[in-house]
Structure 1
């Protein structure tokens, strides 16, 4: 009888150990609680991140063209630069807001006879607004464009042969320079395409 109770006691101990072993996966539960402490410790910096990211560059509009071949309508694009040759467009330094990122740079030329340079940049709304305010010192005259609700700035002293234009709104800056090409209808399409 004593052996039987010892055997039963041994079986209960083994069952208890097995039961505890089965609980081992729950044992790491304190580890997640330690991990939970970690996010709560970093919660202030996580809260600071959205306020910090609110100040820098906003996301570019969804309609921002991805290619020079996507600018405006095909018909107006062909009419404006169809007779010109697309060239490498990097490295041009033109008026742009502080902290601007070039999203698209397009350049077309016809030897010395004609040229179109179009640069689309993005920056924070504050930098774009400050950039527009600084254009007057560079000889530009600005006004609100009625058709697409952006600031439309033209460099004073431009002629029918040459023109420098800036269109700016909602963190987007469009710079257009033309020589012997009338690109205003195309620019209006591009601006409406970007700003809606």
Structure 2
């Protein structure tokens, strides 16, 4: 009888200790909800960065570029200017005033005898480079102005002889250089310019 009572008391004590331990762990005994996994938030769609508008670049205006030394100007004017001259070269290698970054489009070097001839160099460049080059010409001895005949900047430089001169017509990204020796080339140059710009 004593053993049974001792076992019962032990069981009761054990149960009480266990209950106390469980009560200490569980707090109030109500289950604490586990923190819920947050639902993924929708990321904001990035606002596209506005692309700056393209600034138009300085480009040469459309022009009727001549491509053949033998078809420049009208037949009558060409005959009077160079009809008796012989085409010697394409003008490559001649050092003459020219805008920065210019491209030679057409070069014609006509000559007859020892001292008569014409050199024509037609180049293209950015209009800003053409305009800048014109401003340097007075420092090289050229007289410049706007010509009604060409509707463009016109610069001329008297040469060493009575019939020797250099002329430059600059407009819309175009640069026309003509030097003459013992030959008047003004009508020829005017006709070429008219053919390019109309």
Is the shorter-chain TM-score for this pair beyond 0.5, marking a shared fold? yes
Q: CA RMSD in A?
A: 2.1
Q: What is the deviation of 1:192?
A: 1.1
TM (norm. structure 2) is 0.69
Question: Matches of 1:57 and 1:160 in 2, distance apart?
Answer: 38
In the TM superposition, 1:21-170 aligns within 5 A as 51=55, 54-55=56-57, 57-58=59-60, 60-61=62-63, 63-88=64-89, 89-156=91-158, 159-170=161-172
The secondary structure found in structure 2 opposite 1:91 is: coil
TM (norm. structure 1) is 0.70
Q: What is the deviation of 1:58?
A: 2.8
Q: What is the deviation of 1:98?
A: 0.7
Question: Matches of 1:167 and 1:83 in 2, distance apart?
Answer: 25
Question: Matches of 2:114 and 2:57 in 1, distance apart?
Answer: 43
Q: Which has the higher helix share?
A: 1
The secondary structure found in structure 1 opposite 2:66 is: coil
Aligned to 1:179: 181
Unaligned runs of at least 5 residues, structure 1: 1-39
Aligned residues: 150
Q: What is the deviation of 1:66?
A: 1.4
The secondary structure found in structure 2 opposite 1:128 is: helix
Aligned to 1:17: none
Aligned to 1:188: 190
Q: What is the deviation of 1:195?
A: 1.8
Larger radius of gyration: 2
8 Å contact 1:106–1:117 — kept in the other structure? yes
**CA shift digits 1:139-196 (9 cap, x unpaired):** 1010111123101100146643201000000000000000001111111111111122
Question: Matches of 2:58 and 2:104 in 1, distance apart?
Answer: 15
